[in-house]
A and B are shown apart, each in its own frame.
Chain A
Amino acid sequence: MWKFLLPFTAFIALVVLFAFGLNPHRDIHALPSPLIGKPAPTFTLSDVLDPSHSVSNAALSGQVYVLNVWGTWCAQCRVEHPELLAISRTHVVPIIGLVYMDERGKAKQWLEQLGNPYQSVAFDSDGRTAIDWGVYGAPETFLVDGRGRVIYKFISPMTQEVWEQEFLPRIAAARRGGA
C-alpha cells in the first residue's frame, strides 16, 4: 500500500509544483507590488523638458492617472513607446512620465525624436523617487485612482492588449467608485 501511495503522492506533488513553476505565462522576474492599495508616494521633481518647471503628482489629486517609468537606456521602453503614443491620443487618462537613471539631454532627445505621449515628464536625477515607488527596472507602469491610491502596477512593455484588458476596466471602475 505505502509502496504505491508514497511515490504516487510525490508524483502528484511534483506535477502541481511544475504546473506553477514552469508555466510559460508567468514572468518569474515580475514581483507583486506592496504599493497596491496604498497611497501613491508623492514627488516633486524638475520637468525633463524644462528644468525651471516642476512636476508633482500632488497636483493630480482627484484624477485617475498613469505613471510610466522609463529611461533611454531601456530597450523595452523604445518598444512600448509607440503604444504609449497611441494610448495618449485616446485622452482617457493623463500619462505622467518618470525618467530615471538617465541624462536630461538624452531623455529630451528621445521625446523630440519619437514623440511625447506624456502630459509631463518628471526627471528623477538621483533615483530616490524610483525607490519610493519600488521601481526595479523599466518600463514599469502604475495606475493611480482619484483618491491617490496605487491600484495597479504593470511590469513589461505596454501593449494595446494590456491597456484594454488590464487598464481600461480598472480606470472605469475607479471612476465609478466615486473618485
Chain B
Amino acid sequence: MNRPARRMLRTPGGLPGRLGGMPLRLGALAMLLVCFAGTFARSAADQAVDAFGQLKDPVLQARYERITGQLRCLVCQNESIADSNVELASDLRRQVREMLVAGRSDDAILDFMTDRYGEFVRFSPPLEAKTLLIWGAPFAMMLLGGVIIYRVARQRSRMPLDDESATGPEIH
C-alpha cells in the first residue's frame, strides 16, 4: 500500500513538507515586505502643505517631523497632524514648531498636547496600567498562537509517521 500524497503531509512535527516549501515561503515573505513597505514609506506628497516652510536647523526639522508624525489630528482622528491639512492640525504644527524653537524638549511638547487633548492625541500611548491591553495584546496573541501551534504539532507528531509503520486501524 503506497500512498505518497499522505506521506508527504505527515512529516515529523506536522510542519509542511520541505519540498517546494522554501521558495514558496520566501515568496510570501517578499510579498509581505512589499505590502509593509507601502504602508511605512511616506512620500513627500503625503505630508500636509506646510505654510511655515522648513526649519533652518536640520536637527530641529527632524524632531519637528517626528513629533508631528506622532500626534493625532483630532478632527480626522486617523491622520497625524503632519499629514492633515485641516486648520487645527496647522495650528498644532505651529505650536510644536514654536515650542521646538523655544528649546522645549520632545517630552515637554508631547505632555503639552496630552494635557490638553488627552492620551488619545498620541499614536503611541505610554505603557501604563490602563494601556496594558493595547501593548500586551500582540504578545498575548502571539503566545496564544504559539500554544495552539504547539498543541496541534504535538497531536500530529503522535500520529503514525508512515502508513507502513501504522499497525492499528486508520481511524483513531
Chain A interfacial positions (CB closer than 8 Å to B): 29, 31-35, 101, 126-128, 130-134, 136-137
Contact = CB atoms under 8 A, between A and B. Distances in A.
Contacts, number: 39
Nearest to A32: B118
Interface in B87-115: 87-88, 91-92, 95, 114-115
Interface in B14-54: none
Given A31-B74, A31-B120, A137-B75, A127 B88 contact: yes
A152 to B, nearest CB: 15
A131 B95 contact: yes
Interface of B: 74-75, 77, 87-88, 91-92, 95, 114-120
Report which residue of A34, A127, A136 has the largest number of chain B beta carbons within 10 angstroms of its beta carbon: A136
A130 B116 CA distance: 10
A71 to B, nearest CB: 10
Contacts of A34: 114-119
Contacts of A127: 87-88, 91
Given A29-B77, A31-B74, A134 B88 contact: no
The secondary structure that dominates the B interface is helix
The secondary structure that dominates the A interface is loop
Given A131-B92, A136-B74, A33 B87 contact: no
Contacts of B115: 34
A136 B118 contact: no
B95 to A, nearest CB: 6
B117 A134 contact: yes
B96 to A, nearest CB: 11
29 contacts: A29-B77, A31-B74, A31-B117, A31-B118, A33-B118, A34-B114, A34-B115, A34-B116, A34-B117, A34-B118, A34-B119, A35-B116, A101-B88, A126-B91, A127-B87, A127-B88, A127-B91, A128-B91, A128-B95, A130-B91, A131-B92, A131-B95, A132-B116, A133-B116, A134-B116, A134-B117, A136-B74, A136-B75, A136-B117
Nearest to A135: B88
B147 to A, nearest CB: 11
Report which residue of A33, A35, A132, A134 has the largest number of chain B beta carbons within 10 angstroms of its beta carbon: A134
Q: Which 7 A-B pairs have the closest CB atoms?
A: A136-B74, A134-B116, A127-B91, A34-B118, A134-B117, A101-B87, A31-B120
A137 B117 CA distance: 12
Nearest to B87: A101
A103 to B, nearest CB: 13
A151 B33 CA distance: 49
A132 B120 CA distance: 16
